[in-house]
Structure 1
Amino acid sequence: MQKMCLRNFAECLKPGGLLFIDHRNYDAMIEHGATPGHSIYYNCKYPVDIKTSVLVVRGKPELVALDYCIDGANDDDNERSDFRLCYYPHKLDTFTRMLDEAFDYRAKHQIFADFKPIDQVSVPGFYIHVMEKDSM
Protein backbone atom coordinates (compact mmCIF):
# COMPACT_ATOMS: atom_id res chain seq x y z
CA MET A 1 0.00 0.00 0.00
CA GLN A 2 2.79 2.46 0.89
CA LYS A 3 4.65 1.82 -2.36
CA MET A 4 1.43 2.29 -4.34
CA CYS A 5 0.82 5.60 -2.58
CA LEU A 6 4.31 6.86 -3.46
CA ARG A 7 3.84 5.69 -7.06
CA ASN A 8 0.57 7.65 -7.21
CA PHE A 9 2.36 10.78 -6.02
CA ALA A 10 4.97 10.30 -8.74
CA GLU A 11 2.30 9.83 -11.42
CA CYS A 12 0.38 12.95 -10.33
CA LEU A 13 3.40 15.22 -10.76
CA LYS A 14 3.90 17.04 -14.02
CA PRO A 15 7.34 16.75 -15.66
CA GLY A 16 9.71 19.01 -13.72
CA GLY A 17 7.32 18.99 -10.73
CA LEU A 18 8.51 18.73 -7.14
CA LEU A 19 7.39 16.41 -4.35
CA PHE A 20 8.37 17.33 -0.80
CA ILE A 21 7.85 14.48 1.64
CA ASP A 22 9.25 14.02 5.11
CA HIS A 23 9.56 11.29 7.66
CA ARG A 24 10.81 11.10 11.20
CA ASN A 25 14.31 9.96 11.99
CA TYR A 26 13.35 6.39 12.87
CA ASP A 27 16.98 5.32 12.54
CA ALA A 28 17.81 7.32 15.69
CA MET A 29 14.68 6.15 17.52
CA ILE A 30 15.47 2.50 16.83
CA GLU A 31 19.15 2.85 17.68
CA HIS A 32 18.78 4.98 20.83
CA GLY A 33 15.22 4.21 21.98
CA ALA A 34 14.43 7.91 22.14
CA THR A 35 12.98 10.63 19.94
CA PRO A 36 15.31 13.50 18.97
CA GLY A 37 14.62 16.25 21.49
CA HIS A 38 13.74 19.00 19.03
CA SER A 39 11.12 19.47 16.35
CA ILE A 40 11.09 21.65 13.27
CA TYR A 41 7.30 21.54 13.14
CA TYR A 42 6.18 22.14 16.71
CA ASN A 43 6.84 25.30 18.66
CA CYS A 44 5.24 24.52 21.97
CA LYS A 45 5.66 26.89 24.90
CA TYR A 46 4.76 24.12 27.35
CA PRO A 47 7.03 21.32 28.58
CA VAL A 48 6.70 18.24 26.36
CA ASP A 49 7.79 14.76 27.42
CA ILE A 50 7.96 12.09 24.71
CA LYS A 51 8.42 8.46 25.65
CA THR A 52 9.51 6.32 22.71
CA SER A 53 8.73 2.61 22.40
CA VAL A 54 9.93 0.35 19.60
CA LEU A 55 8.12 -2.92 18.96
CA VAL A 56 10.51 -5.51 17.52
CA VAL A 57 9.09 -8.67 15.96
CA ARG A 58 11.50 -11.46 15.00
CA GLY A 59 14.41 -9.06 15.25
CA LYS A 60 12.83 -6.40 12.99
CA PRO A 61 11.37 -3.06 14.14
CA GLU A 62 7.66 -3.11 13.26
CA LEU A 63 6.19 -0.17 15.16
CA VAL A 64 7.30 3.01 16.90
CA ALA A 65 4.94 4.46 19.51
CA LEU A 66 5.42 8.00 20.75
CA ASP A 67 3.63 8.78 24.01
CA TYR A 68 3.33 12.54 24.41
CA CYS A 69 2.72 14.32 27.69
CA ILE A 70 2.24 18.07 27.36
CA ASP A 71 2.00 19.99 30.61
CA GLY A 72 -0.13 23.03 29.81
CA ALA A 73 -0.08 24.34 33.35
CA ASN A 74 -0.14 28.09 33.79
CA ASP A 75 -1.56 30.50 36.35
CA ASP A 76 -5.20 30.01 35.22
CA ASP A 77 -5.56 26.27 34.82
CA ASN A 78 -3.76 23.00 35.26
CA GLU A 79 -4.31 21.16 31.98
CA ARG A 80 -2.31 18.19 30.85
CA SER A 81 -2.58 16.44 27.52
CA ASP A 82 -1.57 12.82 26.97
CA PHE A 83 -1.75 11.09 23.61
CA ARG A 84 -0.05 8.38 21.56
CA LEU A 85 1.06 8.38 17.93
CA CYS A 86 2.06 5.10 16.26
CA TYR A 87 4.12 4.75 13.10
CA TYR A 88 5.72 2.16 10.89
CA PRO A 89 9.46 2.90 11.25
CA HIS A 90 10.77 3.49 7.72
CA LYS A 91 14.52 3.79 8.02
CA LEU A 92 16.27 6.38 5.85
CA ASP A 93 17.81 3.89 3.39
CA THR A 94 14.54 2.01 2.96
CA PHE A 95 12.40 5.12 2.44
CA THR A 96 14.98 6.56 0.02
CA ARG A 97 14.86 3.37 -2.03
CA MET A 98 11.04 3.34 -2.00
CA LEU A 99 10.93 6.89 -3.36
CA ASP A 100 13.53 6.17 -6.04
CA GLU A 101 11.56 3.09 -7.13
CA ALA A 102 8.29 5.07 -7.23
CA PHE A 103 9.91 7.49 -9.68
CA ASP A 104 11.54 4.67 -11.69
CA TYR A 105 14.99 5.98 -10.66
CA ARG A 106 14.51 8.95 -13.03
CA ALA A 107 13.98 11.77 -10.53
CA LYS A 108 16.53 14.06 -8.96
CA HIS A 109 16.45 13.11 -5.28
CA GLN A 110 17.76 15.39 -2.54
CA ILE A 111 17.59 14.67 1.18
CA PHE A 112 17.65 17.35 3.85
CA ALA A 113 17.86 17.05 7.63
CA ASP A 114 15.48 19.40 9.44
CA PHE A 115 15.45 21.52 6.22
CA LYS A 116 19.24 21.91 6.29
CA PRO A 117 21.89 20.12 4.23
CA ILE A 118 22.07 16.59 5.60
CA ASP A 119 25.72 16.91 6.64
CA GLN A 120 24.95 19.91 8.89
CA VAL A 121 22.66 18.10 11.36
CA SER A 122 24.05 15.18 13.35
CA VAL A 123 20.73 13.80 14.67
CA PRO A 124 17.80 15.35 12.81
CA GLY A 125 14.23 15.03 13.99
CA PHE A 126 13.01 14.71 10.39
CA TYR A 127 14.37 13.89 6.96
CA ILE A 128 12.89 15.87 4.08
CA HIS A 129 13.05 14.30 0.62
CA VAL A 130 12.74 16.51 -2.45
CA MET A 131 11.95 14.62 -5.64
CA GLU A 132 12.13 16.47 -8.96
CA LYS A 133 10.33 14.53 -11.66
CA ASP A 134 12.24 14.02 -14.89
CA SER A 135 11.18 16.70 -17.38
CA MET A 136 10.88 14.27 -20.28
Structure 2
Amino acid sequence: MSNATANTEQDFGDKPIERRDTDNYVNEYVDSFVDKWDDLIDWDSRAKSEGSFFIDVLKERGAKRVLDAATGTGFHSIRLLEAGFDVVSVDGAPEMLVKAFENGRKRGHILRTTQADWRELNRDIYGRYDAVVCLGNSFTHLFNENDRRKALAEFYAALNHDGVLILDQRNYDAILDHGYSSAHTFYYCGDNVSVHPEHVDDGLARFRYAFPDNSVYHLNMYPLRKAYVRRLMREVGFQNIETFGDFKETYHEAEPDFFIHVADKRYMGEK
Protein backbone atom coordinates (compact mmCIF):
# COMPACT_ATOMS: atom_id res chain seq x y z
CA MET A 1 0.00 0.00 0.00
CA SER A 2 1.07 3.57 -0.54
CA ASN A 3 2.33 5.90 2.15
CA ALA A 4 -0.97 7.78 1.81
CA THR A 5 -2.73 4.99 3.71
CA ALA A 6 -2.22 6.61 7.10
CA ASN A 7 -2.87 10.14 5.87
CA THR A 8 -5.93 12.20 6.64
CA GLU A 9 -4.69 15.39 4.98
CA GLN A 10 -4.65 15.91 1.24
CA ASP A 11 -1.48 17.22 -0.32
CA PHE A 12 -1.66 19.69 -3.20
CA GLY A 13 1.48 21.62 -2.33
CA ASP A 14 1.78 25.37 -1.80
CA LYS A 15 -0.03 26.29 -5.03
CA PRO A 16 -2.98 23.90 -5.42
CA ILE A 17 -4.22 25.22 -8.77
CA GLU A 18 -0.77 24.61 -10.24
CA ARG A 19 -0.88 20.94 -9.21
CA ARG A 20 -1.71 19.37 -12.55
CA ASP A 21 -0.19 15.93 -12.67
CA THR A 22 -1.78 12.53 -13.08
CA ASP A 23 0.01 10.87 -10.18
CA ASN A 24 -1.34 13.23 -7.51
CA TYR A 25 -4.66 11.35 -7.30
CA VAL A 26 -3.00 8.95 -4.86
CA ASN A 27 -2.50 11.87 -2.46
CA GLU A 28 -6.06 13.10 -2.99
CA TYR A 29 -7.90 9.93 -1.95
CA VAL A 30 -6.76 9.87 1.68
CA ASP A 31 -8.52 7.64 4.21
CA SER A 32 -10.68 10.39 5.70
CA PHE A 33 -12.00 11.42 2.25
CA VAL A 34 -12.59 7.83 1.15
CA ASP A 35 -14.56 7.21 4.35
CA LYS A 36 -16.93 10.00 3.35
CA TRP A 37 -17.20 9.06 -0.33
CA ASP A 38 -20.36 7.02 0.17
CA ASP A 39 -21.98 10.05 1.84
CA LEU A 40 -21.19 11.99 -1.31
CA ILE A 41 -22.67 9.42 -3.65
CA ASP A 42 -25.82 7.94 -2.15
CA TRP A 43 -25.98 4.38 -3.48
CA ASP A 44 -29.77 4.03 -3.50
CA SER A 45 -30.28 7.36 -5.25
CA ARG A 46 -27.57 6.60 -7.75
CA ALA A 47 -29.04 3.19 -8.52
CA LYS A 48 -32.44 4.77 -9.09
CA SER A 49 -30.99 7.47 -11.34
CA GLU A 50 -28.96 5.06 -13.44
CA GLY A 51 -31.66 2.43 -13.67
CA SER A 52 -30.42 -0.56 -15.65
CA PHE A 53 -28.54 1.51 -18.25
CA PHE A 54 -25.10 -0.10 -17.88
CA ILE A 55 -26.52 -3.58 -17.30
CA ASP A 56 -28.66 -3.28 -20.45
CA VAL A 57 -25.74 -2.04 -22.61
CA LEU A 58 -23.57 -4.95 -21.45
CA LYS A 59 -26.29 -7.57 -21.90
CA GLU A 60 -27.14 -6.27 -25.37
CA ARG A 61 -23.56 -7.04 -26.37
CA GLY A 62 -23.53 -10.43 -24.67
CA ALA A 63 -20.84 -9.38 -22.21
CA LYS A 64 -20.09 -11.70 -19.33
CA ARG A 65 -16.61 -10.86 -18.04
CA VAL A 66 -16.28 -7.21 -16.99
CA LEU A 67 -13.33 -5.18 -15.78
CA ASP A 68 -14.41 -2.32 -13.52
CA ALA A 69 -11.38 -0.12 -14.09
CA ALA A 70 -12.37 2.65 -11.65
CA THR A 71 -13.95 0.70 -8.83
CA GLY A 72 -13.93 3.48 -6.24
CA THR A 73 -15.93 2.27 -3.25
CA GLY A 74 -17.42 -0.58 -5.25
CA PHE A 75 -20.82 0.70 -6.39
CA HIS A 76 -20.71 -0.54 -9.98
CA SER A 77 -18.74 -3.69 -9.22
CA ILE A 78 -21.41 -4.78 -6.77
CA ARG A 79 -24.32 -3.82 -9.05
CA LEU A 80 -22.77 -5.77 -11.92
CA LEU A 81 -22.06 -8.79 -9.71
CA GLU A 82 -25.67 -8.79 -8.57
CA ALA A 83 -26.77 -8.64 -12.21
CA GLY A 84 -24.85 -11.85 -12.91
CA PHE A 85 -21.62 -10.55 -14.47
CA ASP A 86 -18.17 -11.94 -13.70
CA VAL A 87 -16.38 -8.83 -12.38
CA VAL A 88 -12.78 -7.91 -11.59
CA SER A 89 -12.41 -4.63 -9.69
CA VAL A 90 -9.45 -2.31 -10.31
CA ASP A 91 -8.45 1.02 -8.80
CA GLY A 92 -5.24 2.98 -8.54
CA ALA A 93 -5.97 4.14 -4.98
CA PRO A 94 -5.46 1.36 -2.40
CA GLU A 95 -7.75 3.17 0.07
CA MET A 96 -10.62 2.89 -2.41
CA LEU A 97 -10.07 -0.84 -2.89
CA VAL A 98 -10.13 -1.44 0.87
CA LYS A 99 -13.44 0.42 1.10
CA ALA A 100 -14.85 -1.41 -1.94
CA PHE A 101 -13.96 -4.78 -0.44
CA GLU A 102 -15.67 -3.80 2.85
CA ASN A 103 -18.77 -2.62 0.98
CA GLY A 104 -18.89 -5.85 -1.00
CA ARG A 105 -18.56 -7.98 2.12
CA LYS A 106 -21.41 -6.06 3.81
CA ARG A 107 -23.59 -7.03 0.87
CA GLY A 108 -22.51 -10.66 0.81
CA HIS A 109 -19.93 -10.46 -1.98
CA ILE A 110 -16.18 -11.05 -2.10
CA LEU A 111 -14.79 -8.60 -4.66
CA ARG A 112 -11.76 -9.63 -6.68
CA THR A 113 -9.69 -6.48 -6.38
CA THR A 114 -6.47 -5.45 -8.06
CA GLN A 115 -4.51 -2.24 -7.60
CA ALA A 116 -3.31 -1.05 -11.01
CA ASP A 117 -2.25 2.05 -12.88
CA TRP A 118 -4.24 2.28 -16.12
CA ARG A 119 -1.11 3.22 -18.02
CA GLU A 120 0.27 -0.24 -17.24
CA LEU A 121 -3.05 -2.00 -16.76
CA ASN A 122 -2.28 -5.24 -18.60
CA ARG A 123 0.80 -5.80 -16.48
CA ASP A 124 -1.42 -6.28 -13.41
CA ILE A 125 -4.53 -8.00 -14.76
CA TYR A 126 -4.95 -11.41 -16.33
CA GLY A 127 -6.80 -12.49 -19.43
CA ARG A 128 -9.20 -10.54 -21.63
CA TYR A 129 -12.61 -9.05 -20.91
CA ASP A 130 -15.87 -8.61 -22.77
CA ALA A 131 -16.19 -5.11 -21.35
CA VAL A 132 -14.18 -2.45 -19.56
CA VAL A 133 -16.12 0.16 -17.60
CA CYS A 134 -14.44 3.35 -16.41
CA LEU A 135 -17.07 5.30 -14.52
CA GLY A 136 -17.47 7.98 -11.85
CA ASN A 137 -15.73 10.73 -13.86
CA SER A 138 -12.46 8.90 -13.23
CA PHE A 139 -10.79 9.43 -16.61
CA THR A 140 -10.57 13.13 -15.69
CA HIS A 141 -7.67 12.33 -13.32
CA LEU A 142 -5.33 11.97 -16.30
CA PHE A 143 -3.70 15.36 -16.94
CA ASN A 144 -1.31 14.41 -19.71
CA GLU A 145 -2.48 13.50 -23.23
CA ASN A 146 0.08 10.70 -23.47
CA ASP A 147 -1.36 9.27 -20.23
CA ARG A 148 -4.87 9.37 -21.72
CA ARG A 149 -3.77 7.68 -24.93
CA LYS A 150 -1.82 5.05 -23.01
CA ALA A 151 -4.80 4.32 -20.72
CA LEU A 152 -7.22 4.00 -23.64
CA ALA A 153 -4.76 1.73 -25.45
CA GLU A 154 -4.50 -0.43 -22.33
CA PHE A 155 -8.31 -0.61 -22.11
CA TYR A 156 -8.40 -1.58 -25.79
CA ALA A 157 -5.79 -4.29 -25.27
CA ALA A 158 -7.65 -5.70 -22.25
CA LEU A 159 -10.77 -6.33 -24.36
CA ASN A 160 -11.74 -9.35 -26.40
CA HIS A 161 -12.00 -8.69 -30.15
CA ASP A 162 -15.71 -7.82 -29.90
CA GLY A 163 -15.48 -6.06 -26.52
CA VAL A 164 -16.91 -2.71 -25.44
CA LEU A 165 -15.58 0.21 -23.41
CA ILE A 166 -17.99 2.33 -21.35
CA LEU A 167 -16.43 5.54 -20.07
CA ASP A 168 -18.15 8.51 -18.47
CA GLN A 169 -17.16 12.11 -17.78
CA ARG A 170 -18.61 15.30 -16.42
CA ASN A 171 -20.05 17.72 -18.95
CA TYR A 172 -17.01 19.98 -18.80
CA ASP A 173 -18.08 21.65 -22.06
CA ALA A 174 -21.00 23.24 -20.22
CA ILE A 175 -18.81 24.24 -17.26
CA LEU A 176 -16.11 25.77 -19.46
CA ASP A 177 -18.51 27.51 -21.85
CA HIS A 178 -21.44 28.48 -19.62
CA GLY A 179 -20.33 28.15 -15.99
CA TYR A 180 -21.35 25.62 -13.40
CA SER A 181 -25.05 25.13 -12.69
CA SER A 182 -25.44 21.44 -11.98
CA ALA A 183 -28.13 20.11 -9.69
CA HIS A 184 -26.12 16.86 -9.31
CA THR A 185 -29.21 14.95 -10.36
CA PHE A 186 -27.49 11.76 -11.39
CA TYR A 187 -24.30 11.17 -9.44
CA TYR A 188 -23.82 13.40 -6.44
CA CYS A 189 -26.93 12.51 -4.52
CA GLY A 190 -25.80 12.64 -0.91
CA ASP A 191 -27.76 14.80 1.53
CA ASN A 192 -26.19 18.03 2.81
CA VAL A 193 -23.04 17.59 0.72
CA SER A 194 -21.84 20.61 -1.22
CA VAL A 195 -19.94 20.05 -4.46
CA HIS A 196 -18.78 22.84 -6.75
CA PRO A 197 -15.76 23.90 -8.78
CA GLU A 198 -13.51 26.32 -6.92
CA HIS A 199 -11.38 27.07 -9.97
CA VAL A 200 -11.87 26.28 -13.68
CA ASP A 201 -9.66 26.97 -16.65
CA ASP A 202 -8.85 25.05 -19.82
CA GLY A 203 -6.36 22.86 -17.97
CA LEU A 204 -7.92 22.40 -14.52
CA ALA A 205 -11.23 21.91 -12.76
CA ARG A 206 -10.60 22.03 -9.01
CA PHE A 207 -13.70 20.79 -7.19
CA ARG A 208 -14.48 21.47 -3.55
CA TYR A 209 -16.38 18.86 -1.49
CA ALA A 210 -17.86 20.07 1.81
CA PHE A 211 -19.50 17.69 4.28
CA PRO A 212 -21.94 18.26 7.18
CA ASP A 213 -19.15 17.85 9.77
CA ASN A 214 -17.45 20.91 8.22
CA SER A 215 -14.70 18.84 6.65
CA VAL A 216 -13.59 19.99 3.21
CA TYR A 217 -11.71 18.12 0.49
CA HIS A 218 -10.67 18.88 -3.06
CA LEU A 219 -10.02 17.06 -6.30
CA ASN A 220 -7.92 18.47 -9.13
CA MET A 221 -9.21 17.18 -12.45
CA TYR A 222 -8.63 17.83 -16.13
CA PRO A 223 -11.72 19.35 -17.83
CA LEU A 224 -12.20 16.92 -20.70
CA ARG A 225 -14.27 18.12 -23.64
CA LYS A 226 -16.66 15.58 -25.12
CA ALA A 227 -15.42 15.81 -28.72
CA TYR A 228 -11.81 15.47 -27.55
CA VAL A 229 -12.52 12.24 -25.65
CA ARG A 230 -14.37 10.79 -28.65
CA ARG A 231 -11.46 11.70 -30.94
CA LEU A 232 -8.92 10.03 -28.66
CA MET A 233 -11.06 6.89 -28.53
CA ARG A 234 -11.25 6.77 -32.33
CA GLU A 235 -7.51 7.34 -32.71
CA VAL A 236 -6.75 4.45 -30.36
CA GLY A 237 -8.96 2.20 -32.51
CA PHE A 238 -12.44 2.19 -30.97
CA GLN A 239 -15.42 2.12 -33.35
CA ASN A 240 -19.07 3.16 -33.28
CA ILE A 241 -18.72 5.55 -30.37
CA GLU A 242 -22.15 6.44 -29.02
CA THR A 243 -22.40 9.24 -26.48
CA PHE A 244 -25.34 9.53 -24.11
CA GLY A 245 -26.25 12.54 -21.97
CA ASP A 246 -27.37 11.46 -18.48
CA PHE A 247 -28.30 8.03 -19.92
CA LYS A 248 -30.35 9.55 -22.77
CA GLU A 249 -29.56 9.16 -26.46
CA THR A 250 -30.95 12.58 -27.36
CA TYR A 251 -30.05 15.69 -25.36
CA HIS A 252 -29.11 19.34 -25.60
CA GLU A 253 -25.35 19.73 -25.21
CA ALA A 254 -25.45 22.03 -22.16
CA GLU A 255 -28.06 20.06 -20.20
CA PRO A 256 -26.49 16.77 -19.05
CA ASP A 257 -24.42 16.56 -15.89
CA PHE A 258 -22.53 13.63 -17.40
CA PHE A 259 -21.70 12.13 -20.77
CA ILE A 260 -21.39 8.36 -21.18
CA HIS A 261 -19.35 7.07 -24.13
CA VAL A 262 -20.01 3.52 -25.36
CA ALA A 263 -17.30 2.38 -27.77
CA ASP A 264 -16.91 -0.94 -29.57
CA LYS A 265 -13.50 -2.51 -30.14
CA ARG A 266 -14.39 -3.93 -33.55
CA TYR A 267 -16.39 -2.43 -36.35
CA MET A 268 -19.99 -3.64 -36.07
CA GLY A 269 -21.68 -1.65 -38.83
CA GLU A 270 -23.19 1.81 -38.73
CA LYS A 271 -25.78 2.47 -36.02
TM-score interval, smaller chain? 0.7 to 0.9
Q: 2:210 aligns with which of 63, 69, 72?
A: 69
State the Cα distance separating 1:35 from its structure 2 match: 5.1
Query: Does structure 1 residue 117 correspond to structure 2 residue 249?
Result: yes
State the Cα distance separating 1:80 from its structure 2 match: 2.0
Question: Partner residue of 1:108?
Answer: 240
| Contact 1:33 1:52 (8 Å CA) reproduced | no
Q: Secondary structure at the match of 1:9?
A: helix
Question: Partner residue of 2:217?
Answer: 83
2:242 counterpart letter in structure 1? Q
- Once the two structures are superposed, the pairs formed by residues 123-134 of structure 1 within 5 Å of their partners are 123-134=255-266
- Once the two structures are superposed, the pairs formed by residues 31-70 of structure 1 within 5 Å of their partners are 31-34=177-180, 36-55=182-201, 61-70=202-211
Q: For 1:16-72, what per-residue CA distance to the aligned partner results, in whole angstroms no more than 9, with x for missing partners?
A: 2111101111111111232522242232122424244113xxxxx1111111223x2
| Contact 1:22 1:128 (8 Å CA) reproduced | yes
Structure 2: gaps (5+ residues) = 1-146
Number of aligned residues: 122
| Contact 1:48 1:69 (8 Å CA) reproduced | yes
Residues 1:119 and 1:68: Cα distance change in structure 2 (over 3 Å): same
Question: Partner residue of 2:151?
Answer: 5
Query: Does structure 1 residue 23 correspond to structure 2 residue 157?
Result: no
Q: For 1:74-115, what per-residue CA distance to the aligned partner results, in whole angstroms no more than 9, with x for missing partners?
A: xxxxx1231111111111111110111112xx5221101111
Provide the TM-score with structure 2 as the length reference.
0.41
The structure with the greater share of residues assigned to helix is: 2
CA RMSD in angstroms comes to 2.2
Q: Secondary structure at the match of 2:187?
A: coil
How high is the sequence identity, in percent, across the aligned residues? 30
Q: 1:93 aligns with which of 227, 231, 234?
A: 227
Q: Comparing 14-23 with 44-53, which one deviates more in the overlay?
A: 44-53
1:9 counterpart letter in structure 2? F
| Contact 2:193 2:209 (8 Å CA) reproduced | no
Q: Measure the CA separation in 2 of the matches of 1:54 and 1:42.
A: 19
Q: Measure the CA separation in 1 of the matches of 2:161 and 2:179.
A: 40
Q: Secondary structure at the match of 2:162?
A: coil
1:15 counterpart letter in structure 2? H
The structure with the greater share of residues assigned to strand is: 1
State the Cα distance separating 1:3 from its structure 2 match: 0.7
2:218 counterpart letter in structure 1? R
Q: Comparing 88-97 with 31-40, which one deviates more in the overlay?
A: 31-40
Q: Measure the CA separation in 1 of the matches of 2:153 and 2:203.
A: 22
Q: Secondary structure at the match of 2:173?
A: helix
Provide the TM-score with structure 1 as the length reference.
0.78
Question: Partner residue of 1:58?
Answer: none
